[in-house]
Homo-oligomer: A and B are copies of this chain.
Amino acid sequence: MNKKSILDLAIFGGSPLFLSPVHANRPNVGDVDHFFTSATSIFKNRILTNNGPLARELEEKLCRYLRVRNCILTANGTSGLSMLIKALDLKGEVIIPSFTFISTAHALMWSGIRPVFCDVDPVTWSLDAGASISLISEHTTAIIGTHIWGRACDVARLENLCAERGIHLLFDAAHAFGCTYRGEPIGRFGTAEVFSFHATKVFHTFEGGAVTTDDDALAERLRKLRNFGFGDYDRVDMLGTNAKMSEIHAAMGLANLASIETTIDRCRSVWEEYRTALNGVRGLTVYARSDSEKSNYHYVVAEISQAEFGLSRDQLVDVLHSENIYARRYFYPGCHRAEPYRSLFPGAEAGLPQTREIGERVIVFPGGASMEAYDAAQICALIRFVADKAEEVASSLAVKDGHG
């Protein structure tokens, strides 16, 4: 990092720190040779999809890894959640955090269910169990929590709450592969959990996902649902869809699962680099990991306090983008402010002060197993440089934007 003055910053005309874009979630790829060996076997067998041998092997291995009785692989995380909604015959209203990926709200709306947006806990940024109580109505059929950044929701409290009210508890575990709650792998809590295995996740299958559950009868329904409701060769028993995972996607999963511990170790090294190198930067707090739980360290998340840092989160994002560092806002501006929810439920905003607050402060830096530690160090040095010159940068940005 050889920038000496703020004029060396790319946003003010300097050369970008990186020649090509460094993305926030560049895909991790495990053992590529393992993948190509499996791919060759697929063409030899000519079994290309429809719950083939590789998909079955991956399901078995994931059950062992997650210590759960059933793993139903799906075409993607959204199709997994959509199937789960049908399998449980959810209706009416379902409570979800607004600070989460939009697909949860969409999957509900697609099935005619109203998503009721709940605020998040200011420490964990996951669904606030306390706040959810007042949102439960006679129409509520489930609560869906998201284990944000791989840190578990308050599972015990939500389990009690949902058991008392006789409603389902589901979890979006898209961030939480390889993470634990009370020492047990996330994936076996609530009625069921849904994973995304999208390319940007710590463990992926190009596109894909899974529903995991200890409920065997539910698993059976999900398996049928995934394949058009077929109960037999040409007997359709129920409304279903196509949510099958292809063999080539399963092959990627097997290759990535074989090296998952190495991947998580690499993610941790990158995360440690950021945490150490950014330690003490005023107004920038790296999101904490629990010491007592396992994390996948996949997301390098921080909060920017504008008053202390001297620049807003959005200003920092702009500065970094100019340097070809694709740090990004996350879950901004919250599901409730995205369409069609903004228009349908304009009143939702009032109950979501933490969501608003956090949504303005979060920044996700390029992380994960594909990062070089050297690049992470360069990024941190740049951030530290910007923090040191924050006042000067802010003034120049104001001039640049015509507000000076």
**Chain A contact residues, CB within 8 Å of chain B:** 26-27, 29, 32, 36, 39, 43, 46, 48-50, 75-79, 82, 86, 102-103, 106-107, 109-112, 198-199, 204, 206-207, 228-229, 233-242, 244-249, 252, 328-329, 332-333, 338-340, 370
Q: Given contacts A204-B48, A234-B328, A370-B46, is CB(A239)–CB(B106) below 8 Å?
A: yes
Q: Which chain B residue shows the least CB distance to A247?
A: B206
C-alpha gap A78/B76 in the complex (Å) = 14
Please state if A241 and B106 are interface contacts (CB–CB under 8 Å). Answer: yes
Please state if A236 and B198 are interface contacts (CB–CB under 8 Å). Answer: no
C-alpha gap A109/B86 in the complex (Å) = 11
- Distance to closest chain B CB from A39 (angstroms): 7
Please state if A239 and B340 are interface contacts (CB–CB under 8 Å). Answer: yes
C-alpha gap A247/B198 in the complex (Å) = 12
C-alpha gap A209/B96 in the complex (Å) = 31
- Distance to closest chain B CB from A337 (angstroms): 9
Interface residue from B82, B112, B339 paired with A238 (Cβ < 8 Å):
B339
- Distance to closest chain B CB from A175 (angstroms): 16
Please state if B48 and A242 are interface contacts (CB–CB under 8 Å). Answer: no
The quantity of this chain's copies bound in the complex is 2
Contacts of A109 in B (CB 8 A): 239
Per DSSP, are chain A's interface residues mostly helix, strand or loop, or mixed? loop
- Distance to closest chain B CB from A357 (angstroms): 17
Please state if A234 and B329 are interface contacts (CB–CB under 8 Å). Answer: yes
- Distance to closest chain B CB from A363 (angstroms): 12
- Distance to closest chain B CB from A328 (angstroms): 7
Please state if B46 and A27 are interface contacts (CB–CB under 8 Å). Answer: yes
Interface residue from B75, B111, B198 paired with A207 (Cβ < 8 Å):
B75
Please state if B75 and A46 are interface contacts (CB–CB under 8 Å). Answer: no
- Distance to closest chain B CB from A252 (angstroms): 7
- Distance to closest chain B CB from A180 (angstroms): 27
Q: Given contacts A43-B29, A204-B48, A329-B234, is CB(A252)–CB(B248) below 8 Å?
A: yes
Please state if B339 and A237 are interface contacts (CB–CB under 8 Å). Answer: yes
- Distance to closest chain B CB from A330 (angstroms): 8
- Pairs A–B under 8 Å by Cβ, sample size 17: A27-B48, A75-B76, A75-B207, A76-B244, A78-B228, A78-B241, A79-B242, A82-B241, A102-B229, A103-B241, A103-B242, A106-B229, A106-B240, A206-B249, A207-B249, A229-B339, A236-B339
Contacts of A249 in B (CB 8 A): 206-207, 246, 248-249
C-alpha gap A107/B338 in the complex (Å) = 25
- Distance to closest chain B CB from A371 (angstroms): 12
Contacts of A86 in B (CB 8 A): 110
Please state if B234 and A48 are interface contacts (CB–CB under 8 Å). Answer: no
Interface residue from B46, B82, B241 paired with A29 (Cβ < 8 Å):
B46
Chain B CB within 10 A, most for which of A29, A79, A199, A249? A199
